[in-house]
Amino acid sequence: MTGDLSPIDKAKYAAARRAADMVQDGMRVGLGTGSTAAWMVRRLGERVQQEGLRIKGVPTSTRTAQLARELGIEVVSLDQAGWLDMTIDGADEFDGDLNLIKGGGGAHLQEKIVATASDQMIVIADAGKEVETLGAFPLPVEVIPFGWQTTRTLIQETLDTMDVLGTSAALRMNGEAPFVTDEGNHILDLHLQRIGNPRQLALVLNQVPGVVENGLFIDICDKVVIGHGDGRTELRDVNEGTIELDQTVDSGENLFSDLVD
């Protein structure tokens, strides 16, 4: 039952459900990665099974692909799909301009490629993800394994010239071993505390040798669906400058009880 969920999980549930219900028959949809995105995939799977919804899903990670297939969603590659009608994904932080930090799940490279190959990107998040200034959440930077320590040194030297409060860069671990992305790379988490100029930082980081991609999504997100703990949702459209409020109806069952952060 959705009544058994915590307020944060209710917020995620509400946002995921509203965004998934925006998908129309015949669409090609980018499927994000993370706990909130997984709930969205579950809702799409329910629509496929109960409504006969026909979509082609382009997953942004191997775990999303596995979940989508288990739920009966047709999974295709981005090359097969060509161009997408929309991508729905979560975010670790978003600001008033809908700039994002993503990559807490380690999939921001594929997520950014898929999102930019879409007519629109819709972010789903609980209200706690909204910030005045990006940077409290560590910024993920994907780097190739070869010479990663040199890359880290170069990044930290670069950060000394940027409008940030912190400059530490930690190698993300998976137990005793470095975390490995779907592309076989490592991730450095930058603890910046505050990012004064996200656009500049995104451009500069990608010039550092060894960097594959950073987790700043600038001018990519078109809409955000914000979920609240009481089931309300808020849809913000950065292009239209509009805000739509809605009250999500409790379906009477928790489709996502097996999904946790």
**Any idea which residues carry the catalytic annotation?**
111
d(CA 197, CA 133): 9
CB 218 within 8 A of CB 199: yes
- C-alpha span between 192 and 106 (Å, rounded): 18
- Dihedral sign for Cα atoms in the order 111, 112, 113, 119: positive
Q: Are 213 and 185 in contact (CB under 8 A)?
A: no
Q: How far apart are alpha carbons 144 and 68 in whole angstroms?
A: 28
Tokens 């944060």 correspond to 8
Dihedral over alpha carbons 87, 91, 95, 99 (to 10 degrees):
-50
Collapsed DSSP state (helix, strand, coil) of residue 38: helix
The residue among 135, 250, 151, 132 whose CA lies nearest residue 206 is 151
